[in-house]
């Protein structure tokens, strides 16, 4: 009888040892997988945070489609001498969050779409050329002897220096946007003209986004 009890106890010990060994091996495998995949996850997060456009915009640009829908906040169309039409729109930008997960203030984008002569302006396109820029920030070249503090809007926006470029400043239009409850983006040209007349300003441009480079970055990381 004692032998049977000893065998039973040995069986329990063996099962316990096997269970513990399996748990340790499983934990080791999980740790190894996590350790090996951490650099890849970190890189994907870095790439994601570096992007300036919502994902859908890369899709429609690559497929040469036009951007239409309720999210278009402003639209204008210009016909150029060769018969091509340039459609300019303003829309919301990519959502951004702080470290606590709180959504940051909305960004705005300005997109131009070029349609060849005779091509209907519609989502199907095809669009022959795009430009993407921030509608809510400007890149300004200063005249000699001036600084960022010399460039302001009448609404209280003040320019900030661009790192390593003493001749350039960035002007975010946060207060200008808040002052336009109806978001009248047609007045952006008036703002351009007003800033161009300031003694400190050599030139004013929208802050462009290199969407082709960003799309290529997405492509490279999606294959890893």
Residue 104 has pLDDT above 60, yes or no: yes
Residue 5 has pLDDT above 60, yes or no: no
Q: What is the mean pLDDT of residues 157-163?
A: 93
Contacts 24+ apart (CB under 8 A), 121-129: 121/66, 121/77, 121/85, 121/87, 122/66, 122/68, 123/65, 123/66, 123/67, 123/68, 124/65, 124/66, 125/64, 125/65, 125/66, 126/64, 126/65, 127/61, 127/64, 127/65, 127/66, 128/64, 128/84
Q: What is the mean pLDDT of residues 198-209?
A: 94
Q: What percent of the chain has a predicted confidence (pLDDT) above 90?
A: 48
Give the per-residue pLDDT at 103. 76
User: Measured on CA atoms in the order 58, 63, 67, 68, is the torsion positive or negative?
Assistant: negative
| Structure tokens given for 90 | 């303003």
Is the whole-model pTM more than 0.85?
no
Higher pLDDT, 174 or 44: 174
Give the per-residue pLDDT at 24. 66
């Amino acid at each position: 009888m004692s032998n049977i009890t000893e065998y039973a106890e040995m069986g329990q010990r063996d099962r316990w040892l096997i269970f513990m060994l399996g748990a340790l091996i499983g934990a080791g495998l999980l740790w190894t997988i996590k350790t090996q995949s951490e650099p890849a996850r970190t890189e994907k997060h870095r790439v994601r945070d570096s992007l300036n456009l919502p994902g859908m915009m890369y899709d429609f640009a690559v497929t040469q489609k036009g951007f239409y829908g309720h999210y278009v906040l402003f639209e204008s169309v210009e016909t150029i001498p060769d018969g091509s039409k340039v459609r300019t729109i303003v829309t919301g930008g990519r959502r951004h969050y702080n470290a606590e997960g709180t959504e940051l203030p909305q960004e705005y984008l300005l997109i131009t779409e070029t349609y060849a002569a005779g091509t209907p302006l519609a989502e199907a396109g095809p669009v022959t050329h795009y430009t993407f820029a921030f509608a809510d920030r400007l890149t300004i070249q200063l005249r000699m002897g001036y600084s960022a503090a010399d460039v302001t809007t009448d609404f209280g926006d003040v320019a900030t220096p661009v790192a390593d470029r003493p001749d350039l400043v960035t002007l975010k239009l946060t207060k200008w946007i808040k002052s336009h409850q109806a978001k009248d983006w047609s007045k952006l040209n008036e703002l351009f003209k007003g800033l161009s007349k300031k003694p400190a300003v050599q030139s004013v441009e929208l802050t462009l986004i290199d969407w082709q480079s960003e799309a290529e970055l997405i492509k490279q990381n999606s294959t890893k």
